[in-house]
Each structure stands twice: as structure tokens, then as C-alpha cells.
Structure 1
Amino acid sequence: MAGTLAAVHWLDWGLWSQRQLASRLDASVAITGGLLPYRGGAAYIGWGLKKSGLRALALSKRFDGHCWLLEDGFLRSLEGSTSPSYSLVVDDVGIYYDASRSSRLERLAAISLDDAQQDRALRLLQAWRYHRLSKYNGGPDPIPNALPKPYVLVVDQTAGDAAIAAGGASATSFQQMLGDALAANPDCRVVVRVHPEVVQGRKHGHYDLASLRANPRIVVVADGSHPALWIKHAHAVYTVTSQIGFEALLWSKSVHVYGMPFYAGWGLTQDLLPAPSRRKHIPLEQLAYACLIRYARYFNPETGLGCEIETLMEWMGLQRKQRQRFPARLLAYGFSRWKQPFVRDFLAGSKTVFTQTLPPAGPSDYSIVTWGHKHSAELENAGFREHVLRIEDGFLRSVGLGADLIRPLSWVIDPEGIYYDARSRSRLERILAQEPFTDALRERAALLRQLIVEAGVTKYNLQHPEQWQRPSGKNQVVLVIGQVESDAAIRYGANTVRRNLDLLKSVRQARPNAWLLYKPHPDVRAGLRKQGEGESDALRWCDEIIGDYSFESLLPHVDEVHVLTSLAGFEALLRHVPVVTWGQPFYAGWGLTEDHEMTPQVQARRTRRISLDDLVAATLILYPTYVSRVTRSFCSPERAVQELLAWRSERKPSPLRRIVARLTRKP
């Protein structure tokens, strides 16, 4: 495109006030009054065929200048049109939905693909279908079993949509389309999809919904559900100029078109209107490549920087997958006010209602959400034994302690149990016992483990400059990890050894000649939790008590790590340090640790032998949920590690937070 300077009319403040506009255009942006030509051969910019776009067109004609018309790309955002957009098209010829004249998209679509581009287009089509994407991606999927069979899909649009008139159609086109769909498919139901903005009451559509519902052959979809599965299971798709027609092509559907949208006229659709002579028959891969790769620009939601469409598709697919996990309605019981915003973030996709009072148990369309086993007795007494989601801190949580009211980057949400409760199988244990770990997943786990180890990342990422020195002349140094004795991980994961002091005694008996280092739990050291029973006598059973040293910095200097159920054992395994367990943590019993206190029942459930990469894949990739502290959207574990590193380099928070945590913490 010509020029690196863009001029926008001063009346179009909604455009020039966008902070990211210049970087997304890769051009300087200036404001013009429109009375004189702007200097330096600037391109006048506006939004599509809206007022700003028409102004830009008029200025470019008046001053014989360039014009760039902007629009959202075909993979726009998570939510609707008022949410942040992650794609942009910049057209210096026309605009893609205006069939009355050429556009940059038309010219790009005419370019043949080489072998590499053809392969990329095929992978793109496969990924689009795999992630079940659309322009907007916030709606829930319909329940496949509830879809009528068979059916054709008729797509409504909002009244006054500029793409209708620009595509040579009108309001009467929608009536003709519906009539043809009914007549041509006598053995099918006709599903009419209402536009999401009509569902929200923000705009009007082209049909009277009451009249549609009076027809027994018509099914009205006005629930805001995502279109992908409706497209996938449709016998055919009918559209005027909606982008859903293009998406239906990506699903290899028969598409009947009653206007002349950007995807019609190429020999891929059944068109009512004659195609412009500019458009010739081309393969679907060539059209998809032009629309999704050559024409549109994409921006990484996590960094704001430009990216390839595959990056955005992967991110959008993750959001879609995570938002479909749980029922539409959730009742969150017993959560403190400071945790409630986090609960909403981690359960995005469901409507979460908070309560401090349990409703009567019985058949319902919602699940109960609670924190671990904190309220298990109350739930059981009230009759809630099923449909309970238990939340706990994840294994790469934050920079700082959870007891300090620090925002979490990861939680685990378990519908089967909870990972530290060895009495019954949790979702994590089921993954470890049954997941068919693929080579690709193992490779990803190995790279993630390498990233974590090299970056020195742990659960809380507490940093202390002091370095512990291994005593000279000691043949074996054993690190013993203390825990908060009232913690649920001991109550539900320990066997006969349940006190830190008893752990020390057991280790001393097992390793009588070793140098025993005892590291109390950070919450105990910080004064946020009580010391264990008899823990003040720890020096009678160990050689040294260490406090303000990071756990990760100690591992190169020790020969073994002994734990009850602490996550520290897992973190030691990541660094290839031998681990001995005296309880029943989730990572014990799989052939990676030396285990002393496992019950026969737990041993019977954990008979599979797994690799360290399998353990990492289950524990850090498949089981937890990660939410970015930057976007407050779901993210990958790899992104979570990057954010932890950036967070760790920031200035430490005020001590006031710890004071508030001490004062407000419930016993």
C-alpha cells in the first residue's frame, strides 16, 4: 500500500482516538479538517461504508489522494462487536463486502497458490473446523443431541446491515430465501438463526419471530449459541450476505446465496445473482488463503503485537474449549469477596452466582462450586454429593503466597474429587492412570519442564538472594519439607505420618547418617499460619533449620527431598532430584518416587508406570486452568510461565497487603 501516513477526519473521533490504530496500520496517524489536502501523500482512512469511510472516500476523490477503508477481519473476537477486535483489514482498492466495485480482497483471491501455500490453506481449514471458530466466538455450543435432524440453516442478519445493500440484496431477499429453503427441502426442518445483536435487543432482524414459530417446520434459534455446530450438522446453508456463508464453505457445505457477498461468484456457491465479471472460478483453498491470510491482519490478544492467524486461532480455540467445560449455571458457595472476581474469570463461559446459603438439594440445571474440601461437611449434610466442582490453587500459582491475597495465575477445577485427596480418584489421578499420552504431548511437556527449570519457576516464586552452602564432608544431605499441619493436603493425603515432627523422626530413622535440613512452610515462617504440633522441637531431629532460602536454590545442593504430601516433591522431580514420600501425594505411586506410607487402596488405583514427561503433561498441561493476569482470559501454561517471569521482575507489593491478609483471614 502506498504511503506510511494516514489522515482521518476530525469528526471521526471514534477512529482516531483508538490508541492502537497507528501500530495496527503500521503508519503514522494524523487528524485532518478536510479543508485542504493533507501533506505528504497521506492516505485518508475511514471505517468501511460508514460515515467515516464515506468521508475518507470523498476526501481522496477531492484531493486526488489514496483511501484506505478499514474493517474487522473474519476472525474478529471472543465476544460480540463491542468487545476488543483482534483482526483488521485495510483495503486500498474498495472494501470486501461492496460488490459494486473491486476490492483488494478480490485481487488477492485471483492469485494462485504454490504448494506451500496450498498446504497451509489445508491446515488452516482443518484448524478452523477443529477449533469450531466463527467471526465472534463467545456463544455456547448447542447440544448436538438437541439439534433437529435433518435440517437446513437459514441465516438472518440485522436490518440495515451495510453488507446487504452493498451485496446487491434487500430486505425482500430474506423472505425469498426462507421461502426457497422451505420449498426446496420438504424433508428437512428449517432452522432460522437470529443474529446475536437481535437476540440482545440491540437491533432488529428481518423476520417476525412469532410468525416463524407458528410454522411447525421452522426452528428459531435465538439463544446466542455459537454457529459452528449449527453449520457442521446442516444439510445446506442459506444466506444473503452473512459471513456465516463463508464459514459454511470452510465446512464444505452447500451454500445458497441471495446476495453477492465476498465469497460468492467464485464457483463455490449457488448464487441467485449474477457474479461480477471480475470474479472467476477458483478453489476453496485459494479463497480461504486470500481471505484469512493475505487480506487480514491479526493481533495477539496477550501481547497486542501482530501475529499470524494460526496464533489467534489457537488462542481463540483455547477460549472456546475452556468456556464449554461446565454447565451454563453455577452456584458458588462460601467464597470470600476477594476471591469472587477470580472465580468468575476461571469459570468464564458459565453464569456464576455466589451464595453463602445452600439451597435445597434436588434435581437442578446447575452445579455447586466450592473451595476444595473447605465446606465438604456442609455440602454432604445438605445432600450435595454429585455435581460438585472443587477449586484449589494450581501448581504454577503466583508471585507471592495465596494467603497474602495474591491473584492466582492457575487453579485446578475438579468435577471428580481433588488432587490432594487420596481417599478417592480425582480427575488428575484419572488422567495419570488412563490418558493416552501422545508423543506430541510428551514433547510439549518436556519443553515446558525445561522452561520451568531454566527459569527457576515454582508454585509461589518467592525470591531470596541468600544462597545456602552445603556443609563440607557430608556424604548425604537430605532436605525435609514442612507443611501447614492443618492443611487439607495432610488431612486427606497423609496416612499414619501426619505431623512435621513425625516426618522428621521418620526421615532420621531412615537416613541416620545424613545431614538433615528442615525447611518450614513459607506461610508458617511469614506468620500467616500456625506452627505444627511439637515443631518447635524440630532441631532435636534435624541438623539445620533453614528459612529464607528459595526451595529451588537448595535443590542443586541436596541428594534427596523427603515430603509428606507437599508439592515440593513434584518440583524436585522436575529437576531430577530423588524424592521420598511419607504420605500419598498425587505424584506418588507411579514409579517416579520412593514411597513409604501408601495404603493398599491407593496402591491398587496407581498401578500404571509413567514417565516424568507424562507426569508433567498431566499435572501442568491437562489438569489445571490458567488465566492471564494481563488479559484475564484463559492462557496456556507456557504463557503463564512467561507472565510469572515478568511478574517476578516487578516491584514487590506493599506490606499493607500482608497486614490485611492477617486481619481478614478466616480460621
Structure 2
Amino acid sequence: MPRPNAPAVPHRLIAASGGFLGPSAQARRIRRILELAIAQPGLGWPSPEDAVLAWGHAPRAWRAEALARRSGAPLWRVEDAFLRSLHPARVSGEPPLGLLLDRKAMHYDPSAPSELEELLATHAFDDGALMARARVNIDRLRALHLSKYNAHDPEFPPPKAGYVLVIDQVRGDASLTHGGEAGALPEDRLFREMLLIAQEEHPNARVLIRAHPETAGGQRAGHYSTADTGGRVAFIDGPQSPYALFEGAIAVYTVSSQMGFEAILAGHRPRVFGQPFYAGWGLSADQTPSLRRRRKLTKVQLFAGAMMLYPLWYDPARDRLCALEDVIDHLEAQVQAFRQDRRGYVALGMRLWKRPALQAFFGGQKPLRFAPSVARAQGQAARDGRQLLGWASAVPKDFNSLRVEDGFLRSRGLGAELTPPLSLCIDDLGIYYDPTVESRLERLIAAPLPAGGAERARQLREHLLAQGVTKYNLPAGEAVAEQVAELRAARPEAPVILVPGQVEDDASIRLGAGEIGTNRALLQAVRAAVPKAVILYKPHPDIEAGLRLGAVPDAAELADLVLARTGAQEALALVDQVWTMTSGIGFEALLRGLPVVCFGAPFYAGWGLTQDRGWVPERRRAVYPRPDLDRLVHAALIAYPRYYDPVSGALCPVEVAVERLASGGMPRRPLRLRVLAKAQGALASHAWLWRR
């Protein structure tokens, strides 16, 4: 992703430090980003056409500096980008999601202009599309509480509003030793002066010190200690996010912390005692103003330059350089799971074959523990401070903890055939298929869309339709298009209606189907309502495989055509309408713009997007303004489920899962599951054995 006016690409990148060439996940990621952007770093004596790499102003950067001087090759400096990972690298060893590669100077070193400074000083920032994207990305970072490191809890209570926020930094950080202020005052004195000035300028306010994450974790020392507190000065204790702290602050003081930049994004004008990259553009109160930086920028222009044009962003699922939006999508998936999972779970109602997949989805922070009963699970959870997590259809009705169920873009293959899922939904209120109680999905549908949500939902829907992705993504079945065409020709005025069959003992039927609760009754009701219609009946694939209940022996008499072993994508392409009890195919029909008639109360009914012939919860009818299709899609496919990428082995955004489902390029089911699936097919009439 070349920057405007970027220098010519060198022949080679020469690493003077072993840190670039080591075996760690961080080193491998750094090499891969550089390889995608320019070239794979390596050893050697550089020529003037090569470039020598230094990691910022790290202690061993002198080796690269000396090598560049002696060889005449240019020196390029590299640092982590401004959105890095969940935890600090020293804590977790997590690799970065992007790099800052500067061919002139480091962004935190004001002794010479960096590429970032020149970009901010000269770029026109008159591209309307770029500015619109920047505004949305700022809003997303704030709403998601995303920062450089993200092991915080947005729900942790912030301090009572009205305080002054003073930001500490780690001792000896390069942004301090090369930040333009060290020559004027020693570090300790500078931070002490900042704290005193904060108290003098706000004599009646509490002054709260925010420690750096690495200081709070004990990895490195900061500049403040308990000796600096007392009276109205105190440390902030707790995992609050920077954006939560900015909401209650009346002023923000920093030397050169990235939190000063984030304070600008949150609407503050921070008091800055160093010369970080964000100072000098009219957005901060600078103790030591820069003599070079004369231009006035808006925060949107500053953000566009620093976060969208300057960094090299990396998508770990797709193994490619990417835009900032892709990194935000990736981090959203990671941090939301961390915030839900950090206490760990005791799980119950989980079938044996599902447990490895559940560990991948929910055991990232602490491995899941499985319990055989509610009582045992409650005891373990109480002892260990964990949460309860139950498979929704296997826990009692009065279970008042988290429920989990398959998502709406599940897999390439049936769950009944033991195909592991790519998506699961976790619900702290109810579960999406039970309309008798409010679910978390309902609240998401009823809520306004987040920043960028409508556009993301539209793009996702377009991608789903273009790729033909559905819930199970089964192989194409029988060719029936010609038969349907003949039926249309014989009755040109009649609507062609798809009636999807369902598993009749499924929880969505038991809880949400209403008066019509069997496939046969559904076919009869559709024929009675639209006698002249061309009715196509699509049996549920689990029933066709002989694995679940719900066969209709006389379906060929009740419908004009039975779509045997036909995928949802193919079936929906043949019809004008869908009539259903609670089938997920009704949701897929809405995605394709088809009218949907519901006899039950599936999650997508009752919002004004379907014709409802049965009972639906009044709470859905009362939502105003009425949700549109974008809100439904965003809630059901983006906000509610979580997705697991079997290729990268990590949680991922929905867009990655769609690409995996569309391409089919996923690992095969484990051998034990393939063998078990064959065995269960032979024992279909004894399902109670293999569905344990």
C-alpha cells in the first residue's frame, strides 16, 4: 500500500538485529508484513540500493544506524502501529496487526520530520470518501473501546465524572527519550511538573493518574507511585478503557502518550508536554510548541493521516495487507470475545463431539470445564468465579445464565452429520428461537445501528448473495429448474411458493411454531390460503438424511413438486415467496428480497419485514422506528454470533467466515467425526445413541 510520494522500493531489506529474524510469532508477523509491503528482511551487507531496518530507537538500534552509515544505505525505522493487539507484547507475545515503517524518522522523534509529519503537513485531505471513512472509523473505535492494547472492560464502572486525567508512561520509553522534551527537563522532573500543573490549573478537581498497561501489569516501571498520591490525587484502579475515562474527564494531561491522540478523537484538547505526532496541529494545548508544524488540522484529517494512510495494516485471517476497517473488524471479534470470556466458563449440555469446537470458540482465555448437571455446574462456577454456559436446547427453561446455539451461517454440512460449526451465538437473556422471552438478538434488532453498520450490513448481504452462501452450504442437489418452469408455464398467474420443511421436534418448533407445528399441517395451510399457487416443498436436509423427525409421506400430493436434496440457494432462486413456520430459510429469503409469510414467530418475524399469520411478541411490534433489513442483517449476522476461522485457528469477523464457506477451502472434519457420522447414519433409527 504505497503512501503518497513514497521513495523507490529498495532491492533488499537488511536486518541488523536478530529481532527481525527470530522464531517468535511477533518476528514472523513483522517479516510477513514487510514481505507483503516491500520484501522479506534478511542478512547481508547492504548496498546503497538496499535499506537497513531498525526497530524504532530500541537499545540495539545503534547496530542498524552504524551499518547504514558505513554502507551508505538508507536507514528505515519500524514500530508497532497504533492498534496493536489484545494485550501488550511483553505480556502475551501476541504479534502486531500493523507496522509503522518510516523512511525518514520515527513519528515520536521531532528532531527531524518523519514521513507521518510530512504527510500531515502536505496532504490535501480533500477526498470526501476518505474523510467519510475516517469519521466512521473514529466512531467505531470509540464505540468498541479500541485502543493500542485492549485488555480492558468497557462495563467496569468509571470514576465519578469531573476529574482531571493525568497519563503516566513507562520509564525510558523511546517516545520520551526521543520526544523532544528530554533536553529541557529530565523525565522524572517533567512528569512531576505535569502533575503539579494539572493540580494548579484545576484547584477544585480530583486528579486521577492513569498508569500504562505494562506498568499496571508489573512489567515495567512508571513515573508515578503511591508517594505522588494523597488528598485529591489518586491512581485509577480498574480495567477501564481510555474512552470510558475520557467521558468523565474535564481535562487530559500527557507528555507523549498515544492516549493523548485518543483524547483528541474523544473531543478533548489535551495539554501536551512533549512533541508527539499529534501535537502542533491546533488540536492540543502544547507546552513546547513545534516550530515546524504550522498547519491546522481537524481531528478527522489527523486520524485519516495517522491511522489510514501512514500504517501498514495486516489481516491475519486472509494473510494480506488491508485497510484499517479490516483491522477494526478483526479486533472487534477478538476483544468482544475476550470481554465475554475472561472469567472462563463451566459448560453443560454439551455433546461430546461438539466439545473441541466449543473450546476453540470459548476457551481462548481459560479452557472450558464441562459439567454433567446444572447442580454440578453451578457448584464449579461458584467455586472458581466462572460463568455458566449451557447449550440452549439442553438446559431447563428456568436456566438463567448464558445460552449457546448454532449461528445462522453455520458450516458446509449438517450439524446432525457432526460437521463442526463456524458460528455460534451466545445469549445472556434468552435464545433467538424462543419468542416467549426476550433474547439478546431481539435487543440488537431493536437498537439503532452502530457507526458504519448499515453499509457493512449491505456489503455483507451483497457478498452472501453473490457467493450463494446459506446456513449449511450443501452440495447442489437435483436439477429441478426445468420442472418448475413447466409448472409456471401451466399456471402463469399463480405465485410459486417455497414451503421449507423443518425438524418437528426442534426447539424452534416447540417454542415458536404456534398452532401449526408440523410440516404436513404447514403444507395444508398454504394450500388452503393460496389454492392456485405452485407449491414447492423442500424437506429439511436432516430429515432427508434420516437423522431427525418430520417426514411427510404424502408430500407429493400436498405440493406440486418436492425439491429432493435441493440446497436453499437453488430453491430460493426458483420461487416468488416463502411460507414457513420458523425456518431459517425465511431469513435467507428476506436477504434475497423475497416476501415471507410466517405462521410462527421466528427471530425475523414481528418487525414489519414479514407477513405474520401467527402470534408474535407484542414487544417486537412496539419497536419504533421499525427495523429495516440492514438492522436485521447486522444484528443476526454481525453483532449476535461469533465466528471461528478453522484456517487461521482464531476467532474472526463474519466476512472471513463467508469467504471460507464460499470457497470450501477448509480443513476436513476430524477422522473420528467422519467415522462417527457414518455410524450414526447406519443407526438413524436409534438417534438417542449418537446424539448424546
Indicate whether the TM-score tops 0.5.
Answer: yes
2:395 alignment partner in structure 1: 375
1:333-353 Cα shifts (integer Å, max 9, x gaps) = 433465456556656998785
SS of equivalent to 1:30: coil
State the match for 1:60 in structure 2. Answer: 68
Give the TM-score of the pair, scaled to structure 1. Answer: 0.81
Question: Paired residue for 2:465?
Answer: 453
Q: Work out which of the residue numbers 249, 257, 265 in structure 1 matches 2:264.
A: 249
Matches of 1:447 and 1:623, distance apart in 2 = 17
Q: Equivalent residue for 1:185?
A: 202
Q: Is the 8 A contact 2:402 2:429 kept in 1?
A: yes
- State whether residues 15 and 21 of structure 2, in contact with CA within 8 Å, keep that contact through their aligned partners in structure 1: no
Q: What residue is the counterpart of 1:659 in the other structure?
A: 675
Which of these residues, 1, 8, 26, is aligned with residue 14 of structure 2? Answer: 8
For the structure 1 residues 58 and 604, does the alpha-carbon distance in structure 2 shift closer, same or farther, using more than 3 Å as the test?
closer
8 Å contact from structure 2 (residues 175, 276) kept in 1:
yes
CA RMSD of aligned residues (A): 4.2
Matches within 5 A, 1:490-569: 490-504=509-523, 518-527=537-546, 529-532=547-550, 535=552, 546-557=563-574, 561-569=578-586
Alignment match, 1:359: 378
Instruction: Flag the 1:258–1:341 CA change in 2: closer, same or farther, 3 A.
Output: farther
Q: Provide the C-alpha distance between the structure 1 equivalents of 2:591 and 2:284, rounded to a whole number of angstroms.
A: 54
Match of 2:216 among 196, 199, 205: 199
Q: Do the aligned partners of 2:579 and 2:598 also contact (CA within 8 Å) in 1?
A: yes
Which stretch has the larger CA shift, 46-55 or 606-615?
Answer: 606-615
CA 1:438/1:666 → structure 2, altered by over 3 Å: closer, same or farther? Answer: closer
Match of 2:408 among 395, 403, 410: 395
* Structure 2 residue ranges without an equivalent (≥5): 1-6, 681-688
Q: Secondary structure at the match of 1:491?
A: helix
Q: Using the TM superposition, give the Cα deviation of residue 646 of structure 1 relative to its aligned residue in structure 2, in angstroms.
A: 2.0
**Residues 470, 604 of structure 1: CA spacing in aligned structure 2 closer, same or farther, 3 A cutoff?**
farther
Q: Are the counterparts in 2 of residues 9 and 52 from structure 1 also a CA contact under 8 Å? A: no
1:224–1:212 CA distance, 2 compared to 1 (3 A): farther
Q: What is the CA-CA distance between 1:59 and the residue it aligns to?
A: 0.7
Q: Distance in 1 between matches of 2:548 and 2:267?
A: 63
Deviation string, structure 1 residues 481-516 (Cα, Å, up to 9, x no partner): 332232111221223443444445555666778776
Work out the CA distance in 2 between the residues paired with 1:340 and 1:207.
46
- How much does 1:466 deviate? 3.3
Pick closer, same or farther for the CA change 1:267–1:581 going to 2, 3 Å. closer
Structure-2 residue corresponding to 1:104: 115
Given the alignment of the two structures, is residue 27 of structure 1 paired with residue 33 of structure 2, yes or no?
Answer: no
> Aligned match of 2:168 in 156, 165, 169?
156
Identity of aligned residues (%): 37
Structure 1 residues 357-413: Cα deviation after superposition (integer angstroms, max 9, x where no partner)? 232699998754322231125xx3xxx54xx33222122211112234434333333
How far residue 463 of structure 1 moved from its aligned partner, in angstroms, is 1.0
Cα deviation code 1:256-299 (max 9, x no counterpart): 34444344456654555x55654546445465554334533223
Q: How many Å apart are 1:455 and its aligned residue?
A: 2.6
Which of the numbers 60, 77, 84 marks the counterpart of 1:69?
A: 77
Distance of aligned partners of 1:222 and 1:54 in 2 relative to their CA distance in 1, 3 Å threshold: farther
Q: Secondary structure at the match of 1:369?
A: strand
Match of 2:430 among 412, 417, 436: 417
- What is the rounded CA distance, in whole Å, between the counterparts of 2:455 and 2:573 in structure 1? 25
**Structure 1 unmatched runs, 5+:** none
3-state SS, counterpart of residue 173 of structure 1:
helix
SS in 2 for 1:198: helix
How far did residue 20 of structure 1 move? Answer: 0.6
Q: Using the TM superposition, name which of 236-245 and 290-299 deviates more.
A: 290-299
> Does structure 2 retain, via aligned residues, the 8 Å contact 1:318–1:634?
yes
Q: Which residue of 2 aligns with 1:298?
A: 313
Secondary structure of 1:41 counterpart: coil
| Residues 275-330 of structure 1, C-alpha deviations (whole Å, 9 max, x = no match) | 56545464454655543345332233443333343553455456556766799665
Hey, what's the Cα distance between the residues in 1 that align with 2:411 and 2:171? 48
* Residue 582 of structure 1, CA deviation: 4.5
Amino acid of the structure 1 residue aligned with 2:389: V
Q: Is residue 147 of structure 2 the alignment partner of residue 134 of structure 1?
A: yes
Measure the CA separation in 1 of the matches of 2:317 and 2:566: 33
Give the Cα–Cα distance (whole angstroms) in 2 for the partners of residues 239 and 133 of structure 1: 19
Tell me, yes or no, if the aligned pair for 2:333 and 2:642 is still in contact at 8 Å.
Answer: no
- Tell me: CA distance 1:617–1:263, structure 2 relative to 1, closer, same or farther (3 Å): closer
Aligned partner of 2:684 in structure 1 is none
When normalised by structure 2's length, the TM-score is 0.79
Q: CA shift at 1:194, angstroms? A: 1.8
Per-residue deviation, 1:92: 2.2
Report deviation, 1:93.
Answer: 2.2
Please give the secondary structure, in 1, of the residue aligned with 2:673: helix
Whether the 8 Å contact between 2:270 and 2:285 is mirrored in structure 1 is yes
Bigger Cα displacement from structure 2, 90-99 vs 279-288: 279-288
- Alignment length, in residue pairs? 646
Aligned residue type for 1:103: S
Query: Partners in 2 of 1:108 and 1:347 — Cα distance?
Result: 42
Shift of residue 229 of structure 1?
1.9
> C-alpha offsets along residues 579-626 of structure 1, whole Å, 9 cap, x if unaligned?
554544334455665655x24x75796478876666545544554444
- Of the candidates 83, 88, 91, which is equivalent to residue 94 of structure 2? 83
The aligned residue for residue 585 of structure 1 is 602
With over 3 angstroms needed to count, the CA separation of the structure-2 counterparts of 1:246 and 1:495, relative to structure 1, is closer
